[in-house]
Chains A and B, each alone.
Chain A
Amino acid sequence: EVQLVESGGGLVQPGGSLRLSCAASGFTFSTYSMNWVRQAPGKGLEWVSYISSSGNIRYYADSVMGRFTISRDDARNSLYLHMDSLRAADTAVYYCAREQYSSSWDFDYWGQGTLVTVSS
């Protein structure tokens, strides 16, 4: 059974940093591209970042470019999102999501999400 389990969310002050993790199981993690998608309270889904299966290609939404870094550790079957210079607008539930096929840009499995709250 495919499982994605996020962790690392919490309350952080504006300007602070946080690292989110996503533990994958039930599939060959190293062969899939992965994404982070967030959802602000009461709002819609917003794609945040992408990393290819090889780890060589990374994309970011304009809203997080230069502040967030996506990475992966295939030995640990884990995906990460390092977030710096956090703002109130970054408050959201953060989901990790698996890309179904290479370059398909549809997400067939999602984690349950981890809540990040940026507030003083």
Chain B
Amino acid sequence: SSELTQDPAVSVALGQTVRITCQGDSLRNYYASWYQQKPGQAPVLVIYGKNKRPSGIPDRFSGSSSGNTDSLTITGAQAEDEADYYCNSRETSGHPVIFGGGTKLTVL
């Protein structure tokens, strides 16, 4: 089965823009979805279908896709955006769905 690769950690200055990437062969065929998870809490869906936001998710969160890499961009990062971010997508073989390893975002 294939994998989704994420950078383990990323940092951003308060109010600046940060991009978190997710790389994998399955992304040539399917878009990634993105989840935010804060300590001790369940994950929350923030982006799906390339660049769709569920109700209640701020518009500073956006998604994009190019080749085998999907990205989550936070424009004007806030202190409350500090969290772990995970991507997932359908799989092209083996398991029906996979998760990336997660990226820990620190807002400085």
B-binding residues in A (CB < 8 A)? 35, 37, 44-47, 50, 59, 61-62, 95, 97, 100, 103-108, 110-113
Contact = CB atoms under 8 A, between A and B. Distances in A.
A105 B88 contact: yes
A97 B33 CA distance: 14
Contacts of B101: 44
A105 B86 contact: no
A58 B41 CA distance: 27
5 contacts: A45-B35, A45-B43, A62-B1, A106-B48, A108-B48
Interface of B: 1, 30, 33, 35, 37, 41-45, 48-49, 54, 84, 86, 88-90, 94-102
Contacts of B89: 105
Of all A-B residue pairs in the complex, the 5 with the closest CB atoms, nearest first, are: A106-B33, A110-B42, A44-B102, A106-B48, A45-B99
A62 B95 contact: yes
Given A44-B86, A45-B35, A105 B45 contact: no
B48 A113 contact: no
A53 B72 CA distance: 30
B42 A113 contact: yes
Contacts of A44: 84, 86, 99-102
B102 A61 contact: no
Given A47-B98, A95-B42, 11 more contacts: A35-B97, A37-B99, A44-B99, A44-B101, A47-B95, A50-B96, A50-B97, A105-B30, A106-B45, A111-B42, A113-B42
Contacts of B94: 62
A113 to B, nearest CB: 6
A23 B48 CA distance: 25
Q: Which of A50, A95, A100, A105 has the most CB of B within 10 A?
A: A105
A47 B99 contact: yes
